[in-house]
Amino acid sequence: MGAGRSEVVESIFGYRRIDSGLIELDGKKSSFKSPVDAIEHGIGFVSEDRKTKGLIVDFSVRDNMSLTNLASVSAGGVMQAGKEQALYEELVKKLGVRTSGPNQQAKSLSGGNQQKVVIAKWLGIKPKVLILDEPTRGVDVGAKKEIYTIMNELAKQGVAIIMVSSELPEIIGMSTRVAVMFEGKLMKILNRDELSEETIMHEATGGEKHVRQ
């Protein structure tokens, strides 16, 4: 934490202005001027703080799932109840969200189910890239396993996943490649066969340069 990981993914999503660097999507140079622009290009973003940035906790589960999918559940600016309900039922089934019904307020769900709702609302846009910032923080072991299963299924379907995590076992167990940051700088990109807790921590604490100092 504090290495600049969240700032990087927020920049990719168009939430922060990029001073330098290059973003490529489908092999083409891209630059997203806002989150709306990023969403239109198929980028989803599950933020680190689900209760203030990921959910509107006083809204229902169905309303939260509809937030990023208004174009598909409305016509001429008017919400279509049937389409909204169909989207809710599809996403609840796909992610195994445990809820008493579509009108249950998000704040009354468990942490794990809140996180599933946040992920669900992005699946509705059928993302090319899904950014997950600390996706299992504050959820129990069972919910973690379910979120990992969802991530693996998305990857099999061709969705590229960028995950920010502070948990080394999670990073090693889920990642194809790991980009390690230290004090706002990218230290190294490690391939799967290079991954170990020792290697990651070495780079995350400054690597050889920091050791010499």
Tell the residue number behind the tokens 């396993």, with chain if given: 145
The token duo for 114 is 């809140």
> What span, in angstroms and rounded, lies between the C-alpha atoms of 87 and 94?
11
Task: Tell whether pTM > 0.85.
Answer: yes
Residue 173's pLDDT is what? 94
Residue 211 pLDDT exceeds 70? no
Instruction: Tokens for 24, please give them.
Output: 């490529």
Return the minimum-mean-pLDDT range out of 42-51, 89-98, 190-199, 202-211. 202-211
In residues, how long is the chain? Answer: 213
* Each residue's pLDDT tens digit, 100-118: 999 999 999 999 999 999 9
Mean pLDDT of 2-8: 86
pLDDT tier at 20 (50, 70, 90 boundaries)?
Answer: confident
The beta-strand segments (E) located in 54-143 are: 74-75, 78-79, 129-133
Query: pLDDT-derived band of residue 209, with 50, 70 and 90 as boundaries?
Result: low
pLDDT at 164: 95
In one-letter notation, the amino acid at residue 26 is D
3-state secondary structure of 142: helix
The model's confidence at residue 213, banded by pLDDT at 50, 70 and 90, is very low
At residue 130, φ and ψ (nearest 5 deg) are: -120, 120
- Alpha-carbon distance of 191 to 123, in angstroms, equals 27
Query: Domains, the chain, ranges and CATH?
Result: 5-166 (3.40.50.300)
Report yes or no: 72 and 124 within 8 Å, Cβ to Cβ.
Answer: yes
Asked if pLDDT for residue 27 goes beyond 60, the answer is yes
Q: Are 209 and 202 in contact (CB under 8 A)?
A: no
* Residue at token pair 């889920």: 174
CA distances from 169 to 107, 112, 115, 199 (A): 29, 19, 20, 13
Q: 176, 136, 133: which is closest to 156 by C-alpha?
A: 176
Please give the sequence-ordered ranges of beta strands (E in DSSP) within 57-184, or none if there are none.
74-75, 78-79, 129-133, 160-164, 177-182
Q: Which two tokens stand for residue 88?
A: 């809710």
